[in-house]
């Protein structure tokens, strides 16, 4: 795979994180190193890459102050060592609410500096039979969308459940890239994951980089995987179905500009 002057290689890392912080950090290190070795300039880790415990309060216990903590230091080191733009999946950041955290996606530049922070706005809730999820019980919702400037274009940060809210992605400025680290459940993933990713790509004529969890986790939780990179026309460029792996693709900004010129849907919007 070779890049052209207008293209940039990106990677979506798929993990099957468990309940050991160190083991998960080690796995992330290995996979980011491989992605960088394969030429990726921007690498995305999945939501909760650092921990997928059976007991949710264990995640809350790892909450860090923004700008410091072992998870953030680890991400800083990875970005700096491999000279990549790194989307650190999500990181548990402290809030003022007792027993609750922000589920935050942090973007690091190749010098290891945090270039952007996005606190997940839409908190997942799902109830079906024995499956019960209520992120609001342990998380605080963010309030602001975030678009970061990178050499690959404007990058919209989002997380998992955000994908179900198309209006969130249509807020200006229009991004060239959308990041969607996730831990989609197997039930909802089988039904909607690829559909949502491709819809967000087509609606926004943007590349979507979706790094997910893909397997069975402590407590019997099952995530859908299928980490993928989708182009602005809705084509899946690469996908990892299950288990650990790396979805890798070249994004062509010249092609994207051509598509936006050919089909100027973003400028044809009537309603904000």
User: Are β-strands 125-128 and 131-134 bridged in parallel, bridged antiparallel, or unpaired?
Assistant: antiparallel
Q: Spot the catalytic one: 114, 140, 156, 160.
A: 160
Told to judge if 47 belongs to the known catalytic residues of this protein, a careful annotator would answer yes
pLDDT digits (tens, 9 = 90+) for 98-145: 999 999 999 999 999 999 999 999 998 766 666 667 888 899 999 999
Told to judge if 160 belongs to the known catalytic residues of this protein, a careful annotator would answer yes
C-alpha distance from residue 207 to each of 76, 78, 131, 253, 259 (Å) = 25, 24, 32, 9, 12
Can you give the pTM of this predicted structure? 0.95
pLDDT digits (tens, 9 = 90+) for 178-218: 999 999 999 999 999 999 999 999 999 999 999 999 999 99
**pLDDT of 66 above 90:** yes
Judged on CB neighbours under 10 Å (0-12, 13-18, 19+), 187 is middle
- Structural domain spans, the chain: 9-263
| Beta sheet of 207-210, edge-to-edge order | 146-150, 153-157, 177-179, 207-210, 227-230, 236-240
User: Are β-strands 101-108 and 85-87 bridged in parallel, bridged antiparallel, or unpaired?
Assistant: antiparallel
Told to judge if 239 belongs to the known catalytic residues of this protein, a careful annotator would answer no
**pLDDT of 245 above 80:** yes
Q: Which neighbouring-strand residues pair with 93?
A: 64, 102
Measured distance CA(125)–CA(183) in Å, rounded: 13
Q: What angle is formed at CA 20 by the lines to CA 83 and CA 134, rounded to 5 degrees?
A: 95
Closest CA to 48 of 32, 80, 25: 25
**What pLDDT sits at residue 132?**
61
**What pLDDT sits at residue 129?**
62
Closest CA to 10 of 257, 196, 178: 178
Classified by CATH at the fold level, domain 9-263 comes out as Nitrilase/N-carbamoyl-D-aminoacid amidohydrolase (3.60.110)
Q: What is the mean pLDDT of residues 19-43?
A: 98
- Cα–chain center distance at 46: 5
């Amino acid at each position: 795979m070779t890049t052209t002057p207008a293209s940039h290689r990106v990677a979506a890392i798929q993990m099957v994180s468990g309940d050991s912080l160190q083991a998960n950090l080690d796995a992330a290190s290995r996979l980011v190193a491989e992605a960088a070795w394969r030429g990726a300039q921007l690498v995305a880790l999945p939501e909760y890459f650092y921990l997928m415990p059976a007991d949710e309060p264990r995640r809350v216990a790892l909450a860090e102050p923004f700008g410091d903590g072992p998870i953030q230091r680890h991400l800083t080191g990875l970005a700096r060592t491999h000279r990549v733009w790194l989307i650190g999946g999500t990181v548990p950041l402290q809030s003022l609410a007792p027993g609750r955290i922000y589920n935050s996606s942090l973007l690091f530049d190749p010098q290891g500096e945090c270039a952007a922070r996005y606190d997940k706005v839409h908190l997942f809730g799902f109830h079906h039979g024995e499956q019960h999820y209520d992120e609001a019980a342990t998380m605080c919702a963010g309030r602001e969308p975030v678009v970061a400037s990178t050499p690959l274009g404007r990058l919209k940060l989002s997380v998992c459940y955000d994908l179900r809210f198309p209006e969130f992605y249509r807020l200006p400025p229009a991004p060239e890239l959308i990041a969607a680290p996730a831990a989609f459940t197997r039930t909802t993933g089988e039904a909607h994951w690829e559909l949502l990713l491709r819809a967000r790509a087509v609606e926004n004529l943007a590349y979507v980089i979706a790094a997910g969890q893909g397997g069975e986790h402590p407590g019997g939780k099952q995530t859908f995987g299928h980490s993928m990179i989708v182009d602005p026309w809705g084509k899946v460029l690469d996908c990892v179905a299950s288990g650990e792996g790396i979805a890798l693709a070249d994004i062509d900004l010249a092609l994207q500009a051509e598509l936006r010129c050919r089909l100027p849907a973003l400028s044809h919007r009537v309603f904000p």
